[in-house]
Amino acid sequence: MKNTMIILIAISFLLQSCYSYKLIDVQKTPLIAEKKYKIIQSSKYENVRLLSSTDSTIVVSNLKNVQNTISIKDIKKIKKRKFSVAKTSVLVITSLLGGAIIIVADGLSKTNYTPK
């Protein structure tokens, strides 16, 4: 029972986001203000909300609402946040099945049921 609960919690944490990030080319794809992006500079990445952009710089706000101006040439990769129907479906189905398994297992453990 405890093992099942631990596995269910681990799966829930692994699949908790209904969003995925798609790699985009800044030169070909226009950046849209107020959208969320993942920006990778050198070896660190940051989830940001785009406030404004020009040909050479972008102004972003991070999760703590701190505004930064970043040069586009300093960005190694930029990923656009996209809603993922697949991740959402898997999360809902896994949660429902996990809950059903726990309820059935708990009910069987209380009734002293032994299959023939």
Quick check: 1 and 80 in contact, CB under 8 A?
no
Q: Would you give the DSSP letter of residue 10?
A: H
pLDDT band at 17 (very low <50, low <70, confident <90, very high): low
pLDDT digits (tens, 9 = 90+) for 28-74: 888 888 999 998 888 788 889 999 988 889 999 988 889 989 888 88
User: Per-residue DSSP letters for 65-104?
Assistant: --EEEEEGGG-SEEEEEEE-HHHHHHHHHHHHHHHHHHHH
- pTM for the model stands at 0.59
Question: Domains in the chain, ordered, with CATH?
Answer: 23-98 (2.30.30.520)
